[in-house]
Amino acid sequence: MMFRNAVELSHFYAAQAAGTGSVCIDATAGNGNDTAFLAGLVGPEGKVYAFDVQQKAIASTKKRLEDRGLRERVRLIHDSHARMGLYVREPVDAILFNLGRLPGSDRTVYTKSCATIAAIEAGLGLLRRDGLLCIAAYWGDPICNEEYREVYDYLKGIPPRQAEVLFHEYINEPHCPPTFFAVHKV
């Protein structure tokens, strides 16, 4: 089976770690695609926490969830993913990050490596054993490339006894497709 992009890989891996009744986090709600995917995955008994710093993203995600009848499964949080530990107090099965910027919004607002790395650290603390953290990272422009490199370096330094880290990239694509990281807590 071939995967077309890092988001498909995130969904594939998240479905291995979470299911009906699970608790999941969408660290970057954006337009709500990952949030809706996770809400469908966890079912009516599960819960999803979705974070975004942009009110436009929270509103877009809320509408997508309402249109699909999934709103009651999700707690929308208008705050940085770096602060997820203040909102989530229960073990988490899967966490999704889709870094970069919100499509169709202010092109000057990006995720930043310092907040993202703080969020990854918080997420690793929240993940249950065998939980999974998935990251789609972009590198095609200078701002995204800086975050990608710093996240890569951080993940590379995680001790193997704490987590296994998988890195996936397309090496012959001409249009800077996003890379994918899967972090499995051991």
Say whether domain 6-131+145-185 belongs to CATH 1.10.10.10.
Answer: no
What distance separates the 2 farthest-apart alpha carbons in the chain? 43
Task: State pLDDT tens for residues 5-42.
Answer: 889 999 999 999 999 999 999 999 999 999 999 999 99
Task: State pLDDT tens for residues 124-181.
Answer: 999 999 999 999 998 777 667 788 899 999 999 999 999 999 999 888 877 777 889 9
Contacts of 123 (CB under 8 A, 6+ apart): 25, 27, 84, 92, 95, 133
pTM of the model: 0.94
